[in-house]
Amino acid sequence: MKVTDIKELEKIANNVRISIIKQVYEAKSGHPGGALSIADILTVLYFNQMNISEENPNSNLRDRLVLSKGHAVAALYAVLAEKGYINKDELKTFRKLGSKLQGHPDMELVNGIDMSTGSLGQGLSIANGMAIASKMDSLGCRIYCILGDGEIEEGQIWEAAMTANKYKLDNLCVILDYNRLQIDGTVEEVKGLDCLRSKWDSFGFNVIEANGHNIEELINSFELARQTKGKPSIIIAKTIKGKGVSFMENKAEWHGKAPSEVEYKIAIEELEKSIVK
């Protein structure tokens, strides 16, 4: 059922953040920073935008998500658990030997995962294929693809952007998690991404900019993308790496490490206080 109440969506997103921290802490490994930054985006997609059903997770008519930045999968598992695809108790097995919930998405193991990802730069090409197939078969599916800003330093992303434009994939919506940090530091230091809007515009995309933590803005942005015909859309979502946990926010070192016991307790306390009443 589509959730339209903004406060309810904010509560879900906050629960997703709590779940991310618990998963990474239990596993003693993972990528909390970039998972926390996409919690609101995934919440809006799965609870407000996408045509999906946990009762029929493999429907050929469902909308699809490609989490190209697959290392942030703790956020996706958390959303799928909130949605009913995964038992919440199973989240405790995240990244553990023999668990279905591995450190990157595996479509063969988990219902609700539309594509196995992990090698950065490849997701947009895959999403293009899904969007083309939907058009060829007149399925009416929308395809969503979440990219990291460090990821778009990969050349394959721009080849895929050219392809999306060539085939006028207006059923494709790319979301850029623009938190400006990657594993080695700031994106600007590693390989600057100046003029992002004009770059994507020059590749033929309908470019939308949004606050990636403002639920209402995200909903409006997705609706604008849905209404755009004849070209693919990209939402440049301005986000904060580690959003919701004070000592993780805007810190590149939280790209890929687990909190200590003390840090875990602080993070959970902060997030629980943030729950919208």
pLDDT digits (tens, 9 = 90+) for 203-220: 999 999 999 999 999 999
pLDDT digits (tens, 9 = 90+) for 120-148: 999 999 999 999 999 999 999 999 999 99
Q: How far apart are CA 214 and CA 124, in angstroms?
A: 24
Stated pTM of the model: 0.97
CATH superfamily of 6-273: Thiamin diphosphate (ThDP)-binding fold, Pyr/PP domains (3.40.50.970)
Q: How far apart are CA 2 and CA 222, in angstroms?
A: 14
Q: What is the mean pLDDT of the chain?
A: 96
The pLDDT value given to residue 1: 79
Classified as helix, coil or strand, 163 is: helix
C-alpha distances in Å from residue 271, one per residue of 16, 45, 46, 84, 225: 10, 21, 21, 22, 31
Say what percent of the chain tops pLDDT 70.
Answer: 99
- Amino acid letter for position 73: V
pLDDT of residue 61 exceeding 90: yes
Say what percent of the chain tops pLDDT 90.
Answer: 94
